[in-house]
Amino acid sequence: MNTQWEVVIGLEIHAQLATKSKIFSGAATAYGAEPNTQACAVDLGFPGVLPVLNEDAVRKAVIFGMAIEADIAPYSIFARKNYFYPDLPKGYQISQFELPIVGNGHLNIEVEGETKRIGVTRAHLEEDAGKSLHENFHGSTGIDLNRAGTPLLEIVSEPDMRSAKEAVAYMRKIHDLVRYLKICDGNMQEGSFRCDANVSVRRKGQIEFGTRAEIKNINSFKFVEKAINHEVERQIEVIESGGKVVQETRLYDSDKDETRSMRSKEEANDYRYFPDPDLLPVFVSDELKAEIKASLPELPEAKKARFKTDYNLNDESATILTASRELADYFENVVKISGCESAICANWITGELSAALNRADLTITASPIEPTRLAGLVARIADDTISGKIAKQVFEFLWNSSESADEIIETQGLKQITDTGAIEAIIETILAANEKQVEQYRGGNEKMFGFFVGQVMKAMQGKGNPAEVNKILKEKLA
Helix or strand holding residue 259 (H, E): strand 258-264
Minimum distance from residue 212 beta carbon to ligand ADP (Å): 4
Query: Distance between CA atoms of 177 and 299, rounded to whole angstroms?
Result: 7
Whichever of 15 and 353 has its CB closer to ligand ADP, that residue is 15
Per CB under 6 A, the list member of 42, 70, 156, 364 interacting with ligand ADP is: 156
Please state the φ and ψ torsions of residue 235, each to the nearest 5 degrees.
-65, -40
Per CB under 6 A, the list member of 87, 158, 301, 403 interacting with ligand ADP is: 158
The DSSP code for 337 is H
Per CB under 6 A, the list member of 6, 12, 185, 301 interacting with ligand ADP is: 12
Alpha helices (H) along 153-220: 164-180
Whichever of 4 and 400 has its CB closer to ligand ADP, that residue is 4
Question: Which residue has the closest beta carbon to ligand ADP?
Answer: 10
Task: Identify residue 39 by its one-letter amino acid code.
Answer: A
Minimum distance from residue 57 beta carbon to ligand ADP (Å): 21
x/- map, 278-317, ligand ADP, by CB under 6 A:
----------------------------------------
Query: Distance between CA atoms of 132 and 292, rounded to whole angstroms?
Result: 37
Binding segment (CB under 6 A) for ligand ADP, from list 2-10, 59-67, 287-295, 460-468: 2-10
Contacts with ligand ADP in 180-239 (CB under 6 A)? 198-200, 209-210, 212
Cβ 124 vs Cβ 154: under 8 Å:
yes
Longest C-alpha distance within the chain, in Å? 100
130 contributes a contact to ligand ADP by CB under 6 A: no
Contacts with ligand ADP in 335-354 (CB under 6 A)? none
58 contributes a contact to ligand ADP by CB under 6 A: no
- Rounded to the nearest 10 degrees, what angle do helices 466-477 and 435-442 cross at? 80
105 contributes a contact to ligand ADP by CB under 6 A: no
399 contributes a contact to ligand ADP by CB under 6 A: no
Query: Distance between CA atoms of 106 and 121, rounded to whole angstroms?
Result: 8
Nearest to 192 by CA among 77, 371, 29: 29
Instruction: Compute the CA torsion angle 407, 408, 412, 416 (nearest 10 deg).
Output: -90
65 contributes a contact to ligand ADP by CB under 6 A: no
Per CB under 6 A, the list member of 9, 57, 155, 299 interacting with ligand ADP is: 9
Residues 6+ away with beta carbon under 8 Å from 446? none
Q: Which residues in this chain contact ligand ADP in the complex, by CB under 6 A?
A: 8-12, 156-159, 198-200, 209-210, 212
